[in-house]
């Protein structure tokens, strides 16, 4: 056992002195990722928040044909700019982004309104421009309101109760809590946490296997009176320690950053205090042996440092695949899915963020299966190191 | 003492070493001499238990490398070909790391590292990281690392390769001291003059087989010529393997 610890201590110390490993494990994940996350959240907050206060900008061609409509639009708070434009000019104005929205009143508008026939209005907008979507929705609402008022007035003029128009009156009751709404935004958080955790052990796993062989220090190591599998156990342990360090720092960084983002302005509460952070770390930690052993095995199979980097890049994607599938297929946590490593950790983190109780059976299944698979892979790594072909 | 008995090793269809037997005695430097690709490195790797022989065995001070490889490894210090050291560790840490893996207590391995640093004249770079070491500094570190547990038997694979004159002299002096102290030293080389100058006993190997074994004088007589280099060429040519 002491040989395992000696190898662990040496790999740990040596890699703490390696700038690349330290940047990847202790700077990139724990500092860069929370900051990036915070910036994107802040942008989202800034983007969503001010909707109601900003007047809706609308260019109107031939507004003189519909004075009532224009008056109503202005009353609803729409900032109307009168322009002179025919169909082609209106199109061009939208395409060139001179105006986001152009409303054109056709010549027969007044006649049709007077006759009680549907009066056409042309609304020019660019549906591929996502930044105008919100304005377009607002304008549609305003026009629908005007339409409804006009229709009801006509019914009343004919002596019909306008309530007949409302056959059903649907009302939405939103049962989402501030915490559960924030999960939409924080859905990628578990993905980032798992990725940075793997990144933590990335360079150490390469350095301790492919790097060791490339340097020519593997052969002397194999002449020592230490069973080979103990050497690899020490290396896996060191990679795991770096992953755990990276995980802890990243979650801590996220917890600190989320405190300052101000998600409550979006009507969300971020349930990410010290207790949740600790629980999140505890949920992800069982994945450490699995990830460390997987990266070590793949790196040990490659011939050079560069080759190892390439293949480990793919390995980084493997644990994130279940998350992508879960997101695309809208998977919900179930007992069977809790047996899938990395997916179960993702579900557990989501539940933590929603402040939902964690079913102890599912937690046990997640931890148990992940740890068991990790133990299997660690044993496989030991077998791999007993092979003669290891020297290459 | 190292005794190889009928060592045989194949890699796929290629037989790298065939029925190799020889003896390297205590208090002597034995040279494994042969052209490139003769099977020298494979033979030394079989002795060092890095590879496992298909047939045959070797005894290191009587311990079988096939039967008790871990015990056999304790009896020898090995300097493989192009041995690398850890760039982020200092020379001293490189030495004590191996000491730790040999199971030496902290105080013991640190004392031994001090001793080796003095003996190999490593003081000026002992506590620098190995990243920028010269070839000679790297060799000294690797050598000290191989000797940290005071092995009775020392195996070196092409130790003088790529070294400058000063480094070669340091190495020769060290090997001489090991011989005086009664150690068994086994080294491989393809450089005739080096073996002639250094070794008490020579094992000529080519094509994976031992062609001649004995004192330099005996090798010359066996080949029927006065010059060792000429003898080497004749012996390897006679077998049609070089």
Domain segments of chain B: what residues? 1-75+195-204
Distance in Å, alpha carbon of A45 to nearest chain B alpha carbon: 46
Q: Output the pLDDT for position A263.
A: 66
Give the long-range contacts of residues B20-25, CB within 8 A, separation 24 or more.
B20/B56, B20/B205, B20/B208, B20/B209, B20/B210, B21/B56, B21/B210, B22/B203, B22/B210, B22/B213, B24/B153, B24/B184, B24/B185, B24/B186, B24/B201, B25/B1, B25/B184, B25/B201
pLDDT value for B179? 96
Residue with tokens 């946590």: A333
pLDDT tens digits along B4-31: 999 999 998 999 999 999 999 999 999 9
A–B interface: beta-carbon pairs under 8 A: 75
Lowest mean pLDDT among A295-299, A314-318, B100-104: A314-318
Whether the complex's predicted ipTM is more than 0.85 is answered with yes
Best mutation target, B79, B84, B102, to test chain A (most A CBs within 10 A) = B84
Residues of B in contact with A2 (CB under 8 A): 103
- What percentage of chain A has pLDDT greater than the value 70? 91
CA of A332 vs chain B CAs: smallest distance (Å): 47
Range from A130-134, A280-284, B27-31, B77-81 carrying the lowest mean pLDDT: A130-134
Q: Which of B73, B84, B100 sits opposite A223 (nearest CB)?
A: B73
For residues A8 and B120, the answer to whether their CB atoms sit within 8 Å is no
| Residue A49 reports pLDDT greater than 60 | no
Closest CA to B44 of B24, B67, B63: B24
Is the pLDDT assigned to residue B136 strictly greater than 60?
yes
Q: Which of B47, B83, B108, B132 would best serve as a mutation to test chain A binding (most A beta carbons within 10 A)?
A: B83
N-term to C-term CA, chain A: 27
How far apart are the C-alpha atoms of A90 and A113, rounded to whole Å? 23
pTM check: above 0.90: no
pLDDT on residue A384: 87
Predicted local confidence at residue A28, as pLDDT: 82
Condensed to tens digits (0 to 9), the pLDDT of residues B150-167 reads 999 999 999 988 788 888
Q: Where are the alpha helices (DSSP H) in chain B?
A: 40-47, 69-74, 91-101, 106-119, 135-146, 165-180, 192-198, 216-223, 228-238
Residue of A7, A18, A223 lying closest to B49 (CB–CB): A223
Q: Do A220 and B70 touch (CB under 8 A)?
A: no
For residue A163, count other CB atoms closer than 10 A to its CB: 10
Q: Which residue has the higher pLDDT, A234 or B190?
A: A234
- The pLDDT score that the predictor gives to residue A358 is 82
Q: Which residues of A are less than 8 Å from B142 in CB distance?
A: 220
* CATH superfamily assigned to domain B1-75+195-204: P-loop containing nucleotide triphosphate hydrolases (3.40.50.300)
Which residue has better confidence, A188 or B103?
Answer: B103
Residues B115-135 pLDDT 10s:
999 999 899 999 999 999 998
Distances (CA, A) of A317 to A314, A342, B47: 5, 11, 43
The whole-angstrom distance between residue A223's C-alpha and the CA centroid of its chain comes to 49
Whether A76 has a pLDDT exceeding 90, the answer reads no
SS3 content of chain B, % helix, strand, coil (to 5): 40, 25, 35
More confident residue, A22 or B225: A22
Q: What is the mean pLDDT of chain B?
A: 91
- Residues of chain B with pLDDT > 90: what percent? 70
Is some CB atom of chain B closer than 8 A to the CB atom of A216?
yes
pLDDT at residue B182 tops 70: yes
Q: Find the residue in B nearest to A385 (Cα).
A: B50
pLDDT winner (highest mean) among A58-72, A121-135, A142-156, A281-295:
A281-295
Lowest mean pLDDT among A180-184, A253-257, A355-359, B180-184: A180-184
Q: What are phi and psi of A223, to 5 degrees?
A: -90, 5
- Residue A320: the pLDDT is 77
Does the CB of B103 have a partner CB in chain A at under 8 Å? yes
CB within 8 Å: B102 and A18: no
For residues A303 and A307, give the distance between their C-alpha atoms in angstroms, rounded to a whole number: 7
Is any Cβ of chain A less than 8 angstroms from the Cβ of B142? yes
B86 touches chain A (CB under 8 A): yes
Q: Tell me the mean pLDDT in the region A116-120.
A: 88
**Does residue B225 have a pLDDT over 80?**
no
Top residue of A223, A228, A389, A391 to mutate, by most chain B CBs within 10 Å, is A223
- What is the pLDDT at residue A134? 81
Integer Cα distance of A344 and B167 in angstroms: 59
The answer to whether residue B242 scores a pLDDT higher than 60 is no
CA distances from A232 to A8, A245, A382, B37 (A): 9, 20, 6, 31
Distance from CA of B97 to the nearest CA of A (A): 7
Q: Which of A13, A217, A227 sits opposite B84 (nearest CB)?
A: A217
Under the banding of pLDDT at 50, 70 and 90, the label for residue B91 is very high
Is residue A180 over pLDDT 90? no
C-alpha–C-alpha distance, residues A123 and A99, integer Å: 12
Look over chain A and give the mean of its residue pLDDT values, rounded to a whole number. Answer: 86
A83-88 mean pLDDT: 86
Domains assigned to chain A: 2-46+179-391 (no CATH), 55-171 (3.40.190)
Q: Do B85 and A17 touch (CB under 8 A)?
A: no
Residues of chain A contacting B88 with CB distance shorter than 8 Å: 14-15, 17-18
């Amino acid at each position: 056992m002491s040989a395992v610890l000696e190898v662990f201590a040496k790999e740990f110390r040596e890699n703490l002195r390696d700038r690349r490993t330290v940047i990847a494990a202790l700077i990139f994940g724990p500092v860069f990722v929370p900051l990036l996350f915070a910036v994107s959240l802040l942008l989202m907050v800034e983007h969503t928040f001010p909707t109601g206060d900003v007047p809706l900008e609308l260019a109107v061609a031939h507004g003189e044909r519909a004075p009532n409509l224009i008056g109503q639009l202005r009353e609803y708070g729409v900032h109307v700019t009168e322009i002179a434009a025919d169909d082609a000019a209106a199109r061009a104005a939208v395409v060139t982004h001179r105006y986001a929205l152009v409303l054109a009143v056709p010549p027969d508008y007044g006649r049709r309104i007077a006759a009680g026939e549907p009066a056409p209005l042309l609304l020019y907008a660019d549906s591929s421009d996502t930044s105008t979507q919100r304005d377009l929705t607002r304008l549609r609402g305003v026009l629908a309101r005007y339409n409804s008022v006009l229709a009801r007035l006509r019914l009343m003029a004919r002596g019909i109760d306008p309530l007949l128009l409302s056959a059903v009156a649907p009302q939405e009751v939103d049962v989402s809590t501030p915490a559960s709404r924030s999960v939409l935004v924080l859905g990628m958080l578990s993905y980032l946490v798992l990725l940075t955790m793997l990144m933590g052990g990335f360079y150490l796993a390469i350095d301790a296997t492919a790097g060791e062989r490339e340097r020519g220090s593997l052969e002397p190591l194999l002449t020592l009176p230490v069973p080979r599998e103990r050497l690899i156990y020490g290396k896996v342990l060191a990679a795991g320690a770096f992953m755990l360090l990276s995980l802890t720092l990243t979650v801590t960084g996220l917890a600190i950053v989320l405190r300052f983002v101000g998600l409550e302005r979006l009507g969300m509460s971020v349930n990410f205090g010290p207790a949740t952070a600790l629980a999140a770390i505890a949920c992800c930690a069982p994945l450490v042996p699995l990830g460390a052993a997987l990266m070590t095995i793949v790196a040990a199979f490659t011939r050079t440092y560069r080759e190892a980097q390439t293949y480990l890049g793919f390995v980084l994607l493997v644990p994130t695949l279940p998350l992508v599938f879960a997101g695309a297929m809208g998977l919900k946590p179930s007992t069977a899915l809790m047996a899938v490593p990395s997916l179960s950790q993702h579900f557990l983190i989501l539940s933590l963020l929603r402040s939902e109780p964690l079913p102890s059976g599912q937690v046990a299944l997640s931890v148990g299966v992940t740890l068991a698979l990790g133990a299997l892979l660690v044993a496989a790594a030991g077998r791999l190191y007993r092979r003669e072909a290891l020297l290459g | 003492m190292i005794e190889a008995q009928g060592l045989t090793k194949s890699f796929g269809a290629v037989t790298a070493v065939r029925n190799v037997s020889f003896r390297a005695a205590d208090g002597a430097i034995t040279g494994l001499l042969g052209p490139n690709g003769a099977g020298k490195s494979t033979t030394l790797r079989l002795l060092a238990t890095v590879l496992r022989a298909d047939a045959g065995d070797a005894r290191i001070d009587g311990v079988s490398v096939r039967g008790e490889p871990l015990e056999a490894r304790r009896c020898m210090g090995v300097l493989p070909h192009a041995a690398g050291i850890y760039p982020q560790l200092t020379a001293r840490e490189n030495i004590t790391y191996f000491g730790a893996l040999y199971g030496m207590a902290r105080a013991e391995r640190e004392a031994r590292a001090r001793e080796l640093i003095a003996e190999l004249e490593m003081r000026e770079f002992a506590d620098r990281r190995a990243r920028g070491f010269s070839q000679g500094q790297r060799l000294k570190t690797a050598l000290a690392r191989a000797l940290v547990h005071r092995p009775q038997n020392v195996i070196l694979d092409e130790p003088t390769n790529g070294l400058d004159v000063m480094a070669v002299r340091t190495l020769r002096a060290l090997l001489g001291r090991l011989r005086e102290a009664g150690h068994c030293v086994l080294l491989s080389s393809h450089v005739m003059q080096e073996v002639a100058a250094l070794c008490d006993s020579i094992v000529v190997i080519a094509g994976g087989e031992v062609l001649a074994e004995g004192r330099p004088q005996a090798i010359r007589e066996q080949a029927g010529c006065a010059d060792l280099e000429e003898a080497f060429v004749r012996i390897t040519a006679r077998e049609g393997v070089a």
